Structure 1
Amino acid sequence: MTTGRFVRVDGVPLHVVVEGSGPPVVLSAGLAMAWFDWDPVAALLVAQGRTVVRFDRPGHGLSAPASAPPTAAGEARRIAGLLDALGLTGPVTVAGHSIAGFHAEAFARLYPERTAALVLVDTSIEEDPRTVWPAGVRTGAARVLGRALTAAGLPAALGPLARRATVRASRTGTPDRTAPSAGGPPAARDLVRRVYRTGRVWRGALLENARYPDTAAEVLALRTGRPLAAPVTVLAGYDGSSGRGALRWLARQAELAARLGARFEVAEPAGHLVMLDRPGLVARTVLDADQRRA
């Protein structure tokens, strides 16, 4: 299990892991996930001659707490600032999973000259994001709830258990056995405890979730005036079932790919954590996207 170093971006210490050499790839995980959720994919990309950059957003993994509520543009700027701090000034392939798909797309639209390719891994989709409560109210409520949960000791008592339950529910249970680390625990037990027993991670997830509809709306607005210049791939996770929910999710992912002019790929069978269920396919998708820019 690899841990990295800390780089200060916009005043916030970010935990980052950089491995390999060659064309750079940035991997960003979904809500409440951490850098080690990309371990199997990162190993495959490094073996194929890529520099792989994984980082934890504020309040996630080992990074410091967020100093401000997240925005799509802010997270895109964070990726750019991290690359600057690492001395990676050329174009990068950026892959975002779940809510981080919003951030990755925002980066590709706001920094087209720095984007070699964009890969959206079972990305979040909101065709018409709406909210009942103002952003400030939701943010305040998330902060109050986070402090209350921490004071009650719930992260320390239930954090690792909640993490394991979430991962179990988000996978198909039939992992890609051809990839390193696939099928086994995605992280060492002591590292999971180190990350998920902290109130910082719970507060970070609550804050990011509270601003989810605003982030989605921001990305929709960017699509009207900030065209994508790099090749895009939408990789959807599909468990292979005929359930209405699974089929509707697959259709929405396909519709998103059509709207973005993207290549559409399906990982089957795979749960939402595609990078753990099908790391080999995720790695190949990233490599193919990078090669398409030529």
Structure 2
Amino acid sequence: MTKVTGWARVRRWGKRMLLGLLLLLVLLVVVGAIYEALGRKNAAANHPPPGKLVDIGGRKMHIDCRGTGSPTVVFESGLGTGGTIDWTLVHDEIASFTRTCAYDRAGIMWSDAKDTPQRASAVADDLHALLKGAGITGPLVLVGHSIGGPYTRTYVGKYGEQVAGLVMVDASHPDQVARLGKAAKVDAHPGQAGWIMHTATALSWTGIVRFAMANAGQGKLPKDAAARMAAYASKSVHGATSELDGFDRTMDDARAVKSFGNRPVIVLTAMAPLKPEELKGLSLKASDGARFKQEWKALNAEQAALSTRGRQQVVGDAGHYIQIDRPDVVIAAVREVVDEVRADAQAAAKK
């Protein structure tokens, strides 16, 4: 009988362990895929769109309009998976004094995905088609957060006859990558997170994105709003990744718009110091973080100056999501612009 050596025994057990791990991995993937499929089915059943789906030519987009009155406020969310959910804390309050609409861009939350590249000009075209399909012609007050700023700026350039006023909520600036990079000696391009977004998109069918979002915590959002966002995260990550890929083209589109004319414009700028985890994520020291924020303030001031009636309002106790940290500030800014638009309309009617 052949004697089994110690090394042969180790190799044999090693192969068995590797085979066991492989089978476990396959089992986890299968279970994850089932978890994801059931999650999507439950999302459709338990979290239907709160607004309506509008066909814009072969695909549908979700828009949630509340309240009555003119002008119509339209929210443009930042880069991410939240879409309409990002405006949960301000939507109803603003709808108490005028019609107010939040919508989901292509591939986000309840809106169908698109198979063409995403950039600001394409976002503007989609929004224009959506508003037309929903029977909304203007006047509009556009409220843009983060990358929603370049999106609304581009909309003014393409469809400015509809736009009567704007509120920029810690909005991105077309030149922010170069300017922030120079001021704080940091790579401020969001494309650094591209590999994470693309990996999440590629693995979304396995349930890992859904599991991560379901266990991420809700922050300051109401529990039901956070649950809706988590339910559609594995779908929304595709749309967000497409927007991230189009970031540079988006900034080119926005840069081409040089003026907001004499429209009332309020630019809200978040100036709370960067948190330790934010500094770490950007590889910044506290002193560099302070320079980063000062340059951000300057960039926002330049956007206010695009209008002869623009002003900047610094919000010292809010982070980037001012509409979540200080919803009262966003509500007050929108009310002020709405009041100015109404006054302009009354003055024009008397002429």
TM-score, with structure 1 as normaliser: 0.79
Partner of 1:252: 299
Where do 5+ consecutive residues of structure 1 fail to align? 131-139, 169-182
Work out whether residues 54 and 60 of structure 2, in 8 Å CA contact, stay in contact via their aligned partners in 1.
yes
Partner of 1:216: 251
Aligned pair in 2 of structure 1 residues 186, 40: CA closer, same or farther (>3 Å)?
A: farther
Partner of 2:229: 192
Which structure's CA Rg is the greater one?
2
Instruction: Give the whole-Å Cα distance in 1 for the aligned partners of 2:307 and 2:263.
Output: 11
Highest relative contact order (Cα 8 Å, sep 6+), 1 or 2? 1
Partner of 1:8: 55
**CA drift at 1:8:** 1.6
Work out whether residues 160 and 192 of structure 1, in 8 Å CA contact, stay in contact via their aligned partners in 2.
no
Partner of 2:69: 22
Instruction: Give the whole-Å Cα distance in 1 for the aligned partners of 2:225 and 2:91.
Output: 16
Instruction: Give the whole-Å Cα distance in 1 for the aligned partners of 2:66 and 2:169.
Output: 21
**CA drift at 1:145:** 4.5
**CA drift at 1:159:** 3.2
Partner of 1:155: 209
Matching residue within 270, 279, 294 for 2:327: 279
Pairs within 5 Å for 1:21-100? 21-23=68-70, 24-32=72-80, 33-47=82-96, 49-100=97-148
Where do 5+ consecutive residues of structure 2 fail to align? 1-46, 179-193, 275-286, 345-351
* 1:232 partnered with 2:265: yes
Instruction: Give the whole-Å Cα distance in 1 for the aligned partners of 2:197 and 2:89.
Output: 33
Matched residue SS, 1:63: coil
Work out whether residues 141 and 166 of structure 2, in 8 Å CA contact, stay in contact via their aligned partners in 1.
yes
Work out whether residues 7 and 82 of structure 1, in 8 Å CA contact, stay in contact via their aligned partners in 2.
yes
**CA drift at 1:152:** 4.5
Instruction: Give the whole-Å Cα distance in 1 for the aligned partners of 2:292 and 2:260.
Output: 31
Work out whether residues 144 and 169 of structure 2, in 8 Å CA contact, stay in contact via their aligned partners in 1.
yes
Whichever structure has more helix as a proportion of its residues is 2
Matched residue SS, 1:94: strand
Identity %: 28
**CA drift at 1:278:** 1.1
Matching residue within 112, 131, 150 for 1:102: 150
Give the counterpart letter for 2:54 in structure 1: V
Greater shift, 235-244 or 55-64, is seen at 235-244
Instruction: Give the whole-Å Cα distance in 2 for the aligned partners of 1:240 and 1:76.
Output: 33
**CA drift at 1:39:** 1.6
Instruction: Give the whole-Å Cα distance in 2 for the aligned partners of 1:271 and 1:117.
Output: 24
TM-score, with structure 2 as normaliser: 0.67
Deviations 1:18-54 (A, max 9, x none): 111011110111111221221221121122x210111
Instruction: Give the whole-Å Cα distance in 2 for the aligned partners of 1:239 and 1:64.
Output: 36
Deviations 1:171-219 (A, max 9, x none): xxxxxxxxxxxx55374343133111x2x21111111011111100111
**CA drift at 1:259:** 4.5
Instruction: Give the whole-Å Cα distance in 2 for the aligned partners of 1:215 and 1:86.
Output: 25
* 1:120 partnered with 2:168: yes
Q: Alignment RMSD, CA only?
A: 2.8
Instruction: Give the whole-Å Cα distance in 1 for the aligned partners of 2:50 and 2:107.
Output: 16
Instruction: Give the whole-Å Cα distance in 2 for the aligned partners of 1:120 and 1:18.
Output: 20
**CA drift at 1:103:** 1.0
Greater shift, 267-276 or 256-265, is seen at 256-265
Give the counterpart letter for 1:220 in structure 2: R
Count how many residue pairs are aligned between Structure 1 and Structure 2: 264
**CA drift at 1:14:** 1.0
